[in-house]
Structure 1
Amino acid sequence: MNNLELGVIGNCAFSALINRRGRVVWCCLPRFDGDPIFCSLINGSETGAERGFFDLLIDDFSHSEQHYEPNTAILVTTLYDQHGAAVEITDFAPRFVRYERMHRPQRLIRLLKPLHGTPRIRIRLRPTQDYGRALLRRVHGSNHINYVGDQVSYRLTTDVPVSFLLDEVPFLLEGPAALIFGSDDPIRRSVADATRESYEQTLHYWRDWTRSLSIPFEWQDEVIRAAITLKLCCFEETGAVIAAMTTSIPEAAGTQRNWDYRYCWLRDAYFVINALNRLGTTKTMEQYLHYIANIAAGAKDSLLQPVYSITLEPKLVEREIETLAGYRNHAPVRVGNQAYEHIQNDVYGSVIMAATQAFFDRRLAHPGDRRLFERLENLGYQCAKLYNQPDASLWEFRGIARVHTFSAVMCWAGCDRLARISRRLELRDRAQYWQGQADRIRDEIVERAYDPLRNTFVGSFGGQELDASLLLLHDLQFLAADDPRFLGTVEAVEAALRRGNHMMRYIEDDDFGTPQNAFNICTFWLISALAAIGRKDDARAIFEAMLQCRNSLGLLSEDTDPVTGEMWGNFPQTYSMVGIIHSAVVLSKPWEEAF
């Protein structure tokens, strides 16, 4: 059965998901939101999907092991047979500096090595087109195979006999071998030399990158893996940050909460940028600023959508795909996302907050200036105008519109940060203006979203419902940690939404019924809130429990079954990986106290 015990490789242009048996079950080319040429992850059961994968089988399979090369995005899978023989598969997507530019070709490299004995293996490569509708046609040469579709052509170059791959016949692996799959470009040197150089330089790149991270003393391995995963979710060409690498992994069994997350949500991207900034890696923020500058420049009347394609396309028309059976046969499979049509007023504050550090960080090659500030002001005007207007909220309700407290607070945050930026730029008149807007919005939020009888903020103006986003009131600097209203809000939200060591985002019925599974980022929000109010022991206990919910490679999806601990939802989820980083930074003992 398919599950989310998967490893991720990539190079900030495309990615691939690989299961514990060494099968590539998901890979979109030429980019994250492209046609999945390997799509067996969402084509029914693992045994039933006869197309859309790239795997290596060992005769008389016994068991497998899987790990990352330390501090890299290079994945190693070892398959053992019942007689003691073993084959090691090293998977990676090349990423390194060449000619003073980042080299990130559309190539998946698989290195094979007999680890013990002489394993007998079989290689099966079955890429598809048009979301699994048909296999690509094969055309082969002496050392390569072309996989040709209606408008695409990919090439596999290898030092394995091509006939072994064409016929999928078992053979003895007596020495190292390599498989290079990707764009239809010839390899003009030996396969061994080309792959060895790519491996060494990619290894060097990732280890050099992780050395630059400012990590907390505790949970270092967990933070490093989360940071690398977030980096892999960045589309470097434009600066976009995707929410997840997959589509249509359902939020829970038996539901139709199957969404396509291979796009850039401005809100999610803010949280990713904030997490990476905490670790001292600011280049991703600079790239994202270029992305949002282009978004803002193309926005009519400075009105923003909550989500865009990674190449700035605004229309993400949602449709259902009938050629794929779905993850564990959970239909439908959806491509596109209707959320692009939603009104979600928090996005203006999200963009402003993502850009704020650019005005205060002296390390940046291109710090924030008056020109960027003026662009952000246009978004601030929307904050001041829309903070008390109904929207679909960050939870993207399709049939519920209210004045959601989180959206209002994010609009306040946008104005508040513009006031701080104004003071930084010594623009006194603008600082006074934006501080006035922030104070006005804050007063109305307190008046209309705070319930004094229950001593808690509520999910919407004048409402009674609670949602987990209220746990962010301290992190967003709307309330001090020792404010009695924040203490009351944390208590109320925890009592209503906590299920064991997990948090629901809300419990009221929505367009698809009552949510069944916990939303991982909400659990991390609880951890942060508990730490802020002095309940660090409780926070640490929940954090340790959440770390146990990761798969064996340290990755998390969007949702967790609070009863079984099983992962559901799109994978890997940037929100969830952000939560690992944020919680570790908040909870870790300082380096100064570590020795």
Structure 2
Amino acid sequence: MPHKYAMGIIGNGSWLALINNFGNVTWLCWPHFDSSFLFGNLLDKYNGGDYKIIPQSDIINTFQRYLEDTNILVTSIETNNGTFEINDFAPIFYSSSELIRPHIFIRKITPIKGYNLIKLQCTPTYQYGNQQYHTVVNENSIHYYLNEKSIYVYCSNIQLFNDVASFFALDKPIYLVMTNEKNHWHNIASEAEDLFIKTKNYWKEWVDNLAIPTLYKHEVIRSALSLHLHVFNNGAIIAAATTSLPEFLGSTRNWDYRFCWMRDSYYTLLAFDLLNNKEIIQKYAHYLSLINEKYDERWPPLHTISLDRDPKELELNLPGYLNEKPVRIGNQAFEHIQNDIYGQVITTLLPYFTNDKIPLETRMQFLPLIRNMLNMIQKTMNEPDNGLWEFRGLKQFHCYTYLFHWAGCKSALKIADIFDDKLMFNHATTNLSKAIDKIECCFDKKSGLYYQAIGNKNLDASLLQLITMHYLKPDDPRATHLLLTLEDKLSAENGLFYRYIHEDDFGKPEATFLICAFWHVEALAIMNYKDKAIANLNKILEYSNHLSLFSEDVHAKTGSQWGNFPQTYSHAGLIQAVNVIHNPNKMPLYL
């Protein structure tokens, strides 16, 4: 059987958690996405902490699903004595016009049939398992404390806390409420159920306001809901919820993705824009303005959520997922030169600047950011970089980087036109011409192909973006030749696609990269191979888990999910691929 991540994700933009198909919270970082875990047995089964409901009778079957069009996760547990359900959710709702996203985690446990005895196991940790919380059991709560940090778990039925080591008869719904503040609940069951209803209504209304294509509606909605959970309340968008889930067994390619990459955010926000969500990009623009204030010119390619520290890469002495080491926190890519980000920031913000519902004066506040990005495109035009695949020991003049110089300049021309900014227009025009020249330097006349970088002959799946971003027109023979060659050299079975097949810093990659497979689907649809695009997409969808959630990587030979999970790259790629199949002639906003 291929390896699949048997977990779902919940959250509200203040925190998120992964919960496995037995109802155990396997991953929850607190208070922020990139903080230490409270529950992290995903990486350390011994000291990582647990938060689970244990039935006295043996479990014979489990089933997980989401309440339709929500991020409320339902885990059904069948034992020899009966069945009960756990509804896990993070409250999110509007109060007047303010979006409320508290640090509250609610577990609603409901008997379905039969008779079950259960008990609670809750053992939070900190400093990645190095520190254990002290425990005080009160009448209707358990207080976990460590130095000045506190966690409270409240229960609607105080019998559960009479003797936490003993089993308790689950004869009616009970509510467990975890928070980092001491609360005075008047009626926990009633108040928790009210939050449940508000949260369900919020998600359903959010989905109702999306522009969902008629094709693959279920998959697009689940991907959109998953992406939403990776957006922090200040606008930062993390690449994935986890750290150090390996790209494949024995790879040592175990990275911390709990940070905001400019590149990954570009694809996530493109997906939201295709779905007609205009709110998330507004907070992201404010987050980018804070980055622009922090750095004079050159930006790192990734940032912590709160911009309060540099994400220095460290290795922890933890067992790791399936004993795969190393376990890393932080990410050394922070130190890289990745010059594609400047064009990506401009292109990402283009829908913000073209949104007439935002006052012109408000949009004008972000023009200094655009000017800085355009200036950095000019300054880095002749500078090699580590590239989108973040090669640690290699700098090149990457075609992908220059493609985003091109798209960024195209976007800047549109922005300059809105504000009648002749200086920006001239600056963008000059650098647009230079970017095109650099892209064409990656073209080899003899083979008729574009290559990964100037002066090398490596093929790279990111070259598909020359087609999907409409640098090459569908009727251009070079586009057809490039597509067919990349298929021949980089495609794997069942629609999968390698990033590249040459050796890198860690050897030769064995896993395929899902966003590359989705780029391939896009390219096929644009090039009028719609039937093949749909056939490939149907195959790719088989590599999701039981909840339609995707990882970053899929092993070509085994079909196993690997890499951090869930992966925004993959879910954004799915949404973009479906939209292109739905409307293959739609042009990017910058053209």
Give the shorter-chain TM-score range.
over 0.9
Unaligned runs of 5+ in 2: 585-591
Q: After TM superposition, list the pairs within 5 Å mapping 1:397-476 onto structure 2.
A: 397-428=391-422, 430-446=424-440, 448-476=441-469
> Which stretch of structure 1 is more off in the superposition, 387-396 or 97-106?
97-106
Secondary structure at 1:229's aligned position in 2?
helix
CA separation of 1:369 and 1:142: change in aligned 2, threshold 3 A: closer
- Structure 2 CA distance for aligned equivalents of residues 374 and 204 of structure 1: 39
Q: Which residue of 2 aligns with 1:494?
A: 487
Q: Retained in 2: the 8 A contact 1:319–1:336?
A: yes
CA drift at 1:430: 3.5
Q: Which residue of 1 aligns with 2:152?
A: 155
- Structure 1 CA distance for aligned equivalents of residues 115 and 177 of structure 2: 22
CA drift at 1:151: 3.7
Work out whether 1:307 is the aligned partner of 2:308.
no
What is the one-letter code of the residue matched to 1:67?
R
The match for 1:76 among 74, 77, 81 is 74
Provide, for residues 211-256 of structure 1, a one-character-per-residue CA deviation record: whole Å limited to 9, x for no partner: 00001011111111100111110001x2100000001001110121
CA separation of 1:288 and 1:589: change in aligned 2, threshold 3 A: closer
Q: Which residue of 1 aligns with 2:60?
A: 62
Q: After TM superposition, list the pairs within 5 Å mapping 1:201-212 onto structure 2.
A: 201-212=198-209
Work out whether 1:286 is the aligned partner of 2:278.
no
- Structure 1 CA distance for aligned equivalents of residues 563 and 516 of structure 2: 14
Secondary structure at 1:40's aligned position in 2?
coil
What is the one-letter code of the residue matched to 1:293?
S
CA drift at 1:469: 0.6
Provide, for residues 140-187 of structure 1, a one-character-per-residue CA deviation record: whole Å limited to 9, x for no partner: 211100111234110000034466586432222111111011213213
The match for 1:137 among 118, 134, 142 is 134
Work out whether 1:340 is the aligned partner of 2:340.
no
Q: Which residue of 1 aligns with 2:313?
A: 318
Provide, for residues 354-389 of structure 1, a one-character-per-residue CA deviation record: whole Å limited to 9, x for no partner: 111122222446787444234202211111221331
Q: Which residue of 1 aligns with 2:474?
A: 481
CA drift at 1:51: 4.5
TM-score by length of 2: 0.95
| Count of paired positions | 581
Q: Which residue of 1 aligns with 2:50?
A: 53
The match for 1:114 among 108, 111, 114 is 111
Q: Which residue of 1 aligns with 2:269?
A: 273
Q: Which residue of 1 aligns with 2:293?
A: 297
CA drift at 1:35: 1.1
- Structure 2 CA distance for aligned equivalents of residues 363 and 420 of structure 1: 17
CA separation of 1:476 and 1:503: change in aligned 2, threshold 3 A: same
Q: Retained in 2: the 8 A contact 1:68–1:74?
A: yes
Q: Retained in 1: the 8 A contact 2:156–2:175?
A: yes
Work out whether 1:378 is the aligned partner of 2:356.
no
- Structure 2 CA distance for aligned equivalents of residues 161 and 427 of structure 1: 66
What is the one-letter code of the residue matched to 1:435?
T
Q: Retained in 1: the 8 A contact 2:343–2:406?
A: yes
Work out whether 1:125 is the aligned partner of 2:151.
no
Q: Retained in 2: the 8 A contact 1:383–1:412?
A: no
Secondary structure at 2:142's aligned position in 1?
strand
CA separation of 1:118 and 1:413: change in aligned 2, threshold 3 A: same
What is the one-letter code of the residue matched to 1:480?
K
Q: Which residue of 1 aligns with 2:348?
A: 354
Q: Which residue of 1 aligns with 2:324?
A: 330
- Structure 2 CA distance for aligned equivalents of residues 99 and 423 of structure 1: 37
What is the one-letter code of the residue matched to 1:221?
H
Q: Retained in 1: the 8 A contact 2:117–2:168?
A: yes
What is the one-letter code of the residue matched to 2:476?
D
Provide, for residues 446-497 of structure 1, a one-character-per-residue CA deviation record: whole Å limited to 9, x for no partner: 1x10012221110000110011111011333322122222222212222111
CA drift at 1:18: 0.4
Q: Which residue of 2 aligns with 1:244?
A: 240
Secondary structure at 2:42's aligned position in 1?
helix
CA separation of 1:224 and 1:327: change in aligned 2, threshold 3 A: same
Q: Retained in 1: the 8 A contact 2:139–2:161?
A: no
Secondary structure at 1:138's aligned position in 2?
strand
CA separation of 1:95 and 1:163: change in aligned 2, threshold 3 A: closer
TM-score by length of 1: 0.94
Alignment root-mean-square deviation, CA: 1.8
- Structure 1 CA distance for aligned equivalents of residues 419 and 334 of structure 2: 34
What is the one-letter code of the residue matched to 1:559?
D
